[in-house]
């Protein structure tokens, strides 16, 4: 499976490094507005081609799929162009900056029968999948409460994409998608009520958010994200007969099944590898099977996550 990377930045560097360990995958081409930057990235990671435009990469018949690692505001146009060229698309999170654009991208993928997957790699992790299995098997009784936070300290600089409104900066789009999609995945449905508060950086984007979700199956979620404080990173799922600890939930390798008093009943540990490998292997398997949608990162969950963020931002407009 020959990949093309659009946007050779920090996250693309990680992706290209892990791609080398994925069986049957290789980096074919790289595209950047800066030819020298594309060429340097291609040389570092063994790609045979470097392009100075997305269009040139998409017109390359040797490219099977593209990994979009551009700033959030550029995801939609790059993905739509790739879909129109018949290229499978693995797009960095969030898939888009709002739910309306997410629906449009998904509608085009469905119409053209092209694989489109949001790169919510955390959902492909073996430990996360074990957590879902424990929940579905009723090992903690009825799930009632989900607690998760992803927040880190990022020095303020209005030119950084995190704080730049022109590139759709803000903690909800950058970090909040992780606890939101974690909660939606564990609850197994979209929330019917959303309530949240945010604080803003001088540039106007949100830099800290605390919010609650209510699901129609009587599950509540208490979530937060931000750039101004560092959160512990562990998540909890509390049920009527027990609870689950998900250590460092966005990159988890360890989870514990506990009874209601905190005594461990079972645990799961996965091997110490970069979790991107599971995302890449899952995407490759989907491509080879002819699928257009991932069962681990389904389109309705991607849209539901975007709707949550839309609603929080609207409440704090």
Query: pLDDT tens across 301-317, in order?
Result: 999 999 999 999 999 99
Strand, helix or coil for residue 134: helix
Mean pLDDT within 137-166? 96
How does residue 27 score in pLDDT terms, banded at 50, 70 and 90?
very high
Mean pLDDT within 260-288? 97
Residue 274 pLDDT? 96
Q: What is the pTM of this model?
A: 0.96
Residue 283 pLDDT? 98
Residue 20 pLDDT? 97
Residue 92 pLDDT? 98
Strands (E), 15-136: 26-31, 49-51, 65-68, 88-91, 116-118
How does residue 139 score in pLDDT terms, banded at 50, 70 and 90?
very high
What would the pLDDT profile of 231-249 be if each residue is shown by its tens digit? Answer: 999 999 999 999 999 999 9
Instruction: Classify 290 in phi/psi space as left (phi over 0), alpha (psi -120 to 50) or beta.
Output: left
How does residue 127 score in pLDDT terms, banded at 50, 70 and 90?
very high
Reduced 3-state DSSP string for 183-249: HHHHHCCCCCEEEEEEEECCCCCEEEEEEEEEECCCEEEEEEEECCCCCCCCEEEEECCEEEEECCH
Residue 111 pLDDT? 98
């Amino acid at each position: 499976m020959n990949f093309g990377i659009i946007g050779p930045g920090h996250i693309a560097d990680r992706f290209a490094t892990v791609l080398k360990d994925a069986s049957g995958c290789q980096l074919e081409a790289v595209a950047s507005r800066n030819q020298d930057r594309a060429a340097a990235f291609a040389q570092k990671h063994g790609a045979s081609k470097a392009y100075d435009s997305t269009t040139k990469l998409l017109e390359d018949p040797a490219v099977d799929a593209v990994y979009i690692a551009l700033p959030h505001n550029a995801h939609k146009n790059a993905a739509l162009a790739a879909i129109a060229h018949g290229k499978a698309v693995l797009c960095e999170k969030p898939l888009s900056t709002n739910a309306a654009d997410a629906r449009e991208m998904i509608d085009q993928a469905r119409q053209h029968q092209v694989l489109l997957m949001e790169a919510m790699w955390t959902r492909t992790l073996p430990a996360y999948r074990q957590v879902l299995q424990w929940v579905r098997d009723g090992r903690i009784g009825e799930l009632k409460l989900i607690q998760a936070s992803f927040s880190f300290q990022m020095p303020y600089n209005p030119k950084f994409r995190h704080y730049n409104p022109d590139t759709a900066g803000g903690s909800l789009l950058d970090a909040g998608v992780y606890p939101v999609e974690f909660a939606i995945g564990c609850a197994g449905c979209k929330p019917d009520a959303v309530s949240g508060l945010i604080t803003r950086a001088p540039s106007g984007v949100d830099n800290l958010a605390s919010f609650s979700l209510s699901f129609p199956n009587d599950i509540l979620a208490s979530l937060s994200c931000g750039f101004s404080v560092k959160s512990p990173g562990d998540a909890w799922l509390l049920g009527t007969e027990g609870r689950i600890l998900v250590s460092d939930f966005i990159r988890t390798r360890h989870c514990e099944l506990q009874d209601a008093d905190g005594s461990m009943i079972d645990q799961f540990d996965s091997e110490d590898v970069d979790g991107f490998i599971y995302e890449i292997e899952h995407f490759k398997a989907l491509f080879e099977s002819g699928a257009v949608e991932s069962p681990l990162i389904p389109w309705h969950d991607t849209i539901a996550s975007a709707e949550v963020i839309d609603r929080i931002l609207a409440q704090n407009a």
